[in-house]
């Protein structure tokens, strides 16, 4: 089988390419140039491209570089900035996976005559009945099923996760045994377009005007102030202009239009229901009991799903999650992913409202 393997310059995608070769596939490596601005972190630096190219040389495979910077700006960077301007906390890495690392890469693979695409994500693809599903990777601590939850049936049928059955330790062992230059390279865990030196504040401040905001309690009494309401998110405790020494207070609401941040005790963060918009399903829409994960490495919690709208395979729906036990409110804009009761297969996912 002819496979186009995404190579980010990290150890996981390096071993993914090696595993495909060992399985007898015809493999071509590809690195996607996504962010064209300053980068001292993430997976888009010149050094990362060079690492991917050199690993491809070590493996004896061709290496391509695709320039998707315009698509990245349109689908990831611009929505990220716009979300903050409206008091929403986005998840840019998931949108990058959705629009670039799978959809856009798959389109290019079709044009070039590849049978499949592969990545180094720690996830698996399993069959259940007549459908395929993303499933959790073998390494619980490194599982990335949450960040690739959006894959539809067409993508699931032609995507490979060659390291999904391996632990991270085994991935590094195989890379070391093969002498790959990325064997001991640290994992990248940051947003590629947010630099360590400037951070989120500088990145957004260069693109949108910041507005100062009042910080008030549940009764509307002003208790502090922030310089940029666009940088505040639900659940935040630090950096909200409150005097020290008092009880812990958390952000429970952000109103950008009114330039107001509401704070309260931790118990005020807990809710009985969560509304999820733009929900897509791996196969058929699901109603009833599920397990729900609300962050990349958060614990899955039990809830009952109520679907609103007209469910249809692959179409976005709005759902309501009724939690078995009250849960901390999910910041609007964050991804909410639904798993089966075995906490194994991804059933669908959407965006918290």
pLDDT tens digit at each of 353 positions of the chain:
999 999 999 999 999 999 999 999 999 999 999 997 766 555 667 788 999 999 999 999 999 999 999 999 999 999 999 999 999 999 999 999 999 999 999 999 999 999 999 999 999 999 999 999 999 999 999 999 999 999 999 999 999 999 999 999 999 999 999 999 999 999 876 788 998 888 999 999 999 999 999 999 999 999 999 999 999 999 999 988 887 777 899 999 999 999 999 999 999 999 999 999 999 999 999 999 999 999 999 999 999 999 876 555 445 679 999 999 999 999 999 999 999 999 999 999 999 99
C-alpha distances out from residue 191 to 41, 141, 261, Å:
7, 20, 26
Pair of tokens at residue 281: 């399903």
Helix axes 168-177, 11-22, angle to 10 degrees: 70
Catalytic, out of 5, 43, 96, 294 = 96
Q: Is residue 144 part of a domain?
A: no
Res 43: pLDDT: 62
Q: For this structure, is 192 an active site residue?
A: yes
Which of 244, 264, 284 represents a domain boundary (last residue)? 264
Catalytic, out of 5, 44, 93, 192 = 192
d(CA 324, CA 300) in angstroms, rounded, equals: 12
Question: Among the residues of the chain, which ranges form H helices?
Answer: 11-22, 46-59, 69-72, 78-85, 92-96, 105-112, 153-158, 168-177, 199-205
Question: Among the residues of 69-152, which ranges form H helices?
Answer: 69-72, 78-85, 92-96, 105-112
Q: Is residue 12 part of a domain?
A: yes
Res 147: pLDDT: 97
d(CA 193, CA 203) in angstroms, rounded, equals: 8
Count of structural domains within the chain: 3
Regarding whether 333 and 225 lie in a shared domain, the answer is: no
With contact defined as beta carbons under 8 Å apart, do 264 and 217 qualify? yes
Q: Is residue 300 part of a domain?
A: yes
Q: For this structure, is 43 an active site residue?
A: no
Regarding whether 315 and 218 lie in a shared domain, the answer is: no
Let me know how long the chain is. 353
CATH number, domain at 326?
2.40.30.10
Regarding whether 298 and 247 lie in a shared domain, the answer is: no
Question: For 164, phi and psi rounded to 5 degrees?
Answer: -65, -20
Q: Return all residues near 191 (Cβ < 8 A) that are at least 6 apart.
A: 41, 42, 92, 93
Regarding whether 277 and 213 lie in a shared domain, the answer is: no
Which of 264, 280, 301 represents a domain boundary (last residue)? 264
Q: Is residue 343 part of a domain?
A: yes
Regarding whether 102 and 8 lie in a shared domain, the answer is: yes
Instruction: For 211-343, list the strands marked E by DSSP.
Output: 213-216, 222-226, 250-255, 260-264, 270-281, 288-293, 301-308, 317-328, 335-339
Regarding whether 170 and 47 lie in a shared domain, the answer is: yes
Q: Is residue 226 part of a domain?
A: yes
With contact defined as beta carbons under 8 Å apart, do 335 and 258 qualify? no
Regarding whether 110 and 8 lie in a shared domain, the answer is: yes
Regarding whether 227 and 298 lie in a shared domain, the answer is: no
Angle, CA 295 vertex, CA 292 and CA 296 arms, to 5° = 110
Regarding whether 230 and 116 lie in a shared domain, the answer is: no
Which of 264, 282, 307 represents a domain boundary (last residue)? 264
Range of the domain at 11: 2-120+162-177
Regarding whether 41 and 102 lie in a shared domain, the answer is: yes
Regarding whether 80 and 173 lie in a shared domain, the answer is: yes
Q: The sheet that has 213-216: what strands, in order across it?
A: 222-226, 213-216, 260-264, 250-255
Regarding whether 328 and 238 lie in a shared domain, the answer is: no
CATH number, domain at 88?
3.40.50.620
With contact defined as beta carbons under 8 Å apart, do 272 and 326 qualify? yes
């Amino acid at each position: 089988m002819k496979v186009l393997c995404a190579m980010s310059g990290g150890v996981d995608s390096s071993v993914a390419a090696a595993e495909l070769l060992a399985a007898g596939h015809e493999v071509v490596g590809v690195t996607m140039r996504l962010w064209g601005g300053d980068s001292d972190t993430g997976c888009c630096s010149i050094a990362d491209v060079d690492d991917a190219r050199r690993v491809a040389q070590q493996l004896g495979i061709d290496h391509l570089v695709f320039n998707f910077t315009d698509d990245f700006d349109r689908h990831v960077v611009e929505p990220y900035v716009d979300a903050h301007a409206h008091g929403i906390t986005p998840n840019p890495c998931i949108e990058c996976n959705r629009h670039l690392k799978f959809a856009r890469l798959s389109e290019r693979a079709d044009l070039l005559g590849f049978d499949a695409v592969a990545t180094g994500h720690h996830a698996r693809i399993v069959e259940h009945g007549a459908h395929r599903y993303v499933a959790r990777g073998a390494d619980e601590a490194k599982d990335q099923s949450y960040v690739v939850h959006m894959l539809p049936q067409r993508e699931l049928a032609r995507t490979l996760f060659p390291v999904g059955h391996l632990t991270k330790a085994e991935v590094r062992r195989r890379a070391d045994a093969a002498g790959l230059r990325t064997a001991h390279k640290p994992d990248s865990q940051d947003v590629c377009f947010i630099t360590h030196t400037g951070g989120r504040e500088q990145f957004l401040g260069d693109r949108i005007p910041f507005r100062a905001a009042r910080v008030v309690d549940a009764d509307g009494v002003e208790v502090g102030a922030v310089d940029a309401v666009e940088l505040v998110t639900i659940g935040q405790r630090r950096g909200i202009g409150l005097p020290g020494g008092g009880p812990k207070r958390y952000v429970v609401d952000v109103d950008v239009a009114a330039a107001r941040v509401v704070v309260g005790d931790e118990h005020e963060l807990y809710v009985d229901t969560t509304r999820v918009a733009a929900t897509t399903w791996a196969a058929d829409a699901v109603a009833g009991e599920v397990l729900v994960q609300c962050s990349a490495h958060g614990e899955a919690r039990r809830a009952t799903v109520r679907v609103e709208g007209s469910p249809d395979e692959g179409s976005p729906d709005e759902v309501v999650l009724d939690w078995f036990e009250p849960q901390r409110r999910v910041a609007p804009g964050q991804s909410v992913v639904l798993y089966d009761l075995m906490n194994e297969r991804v059933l669908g996912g959407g965006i918290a409202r």
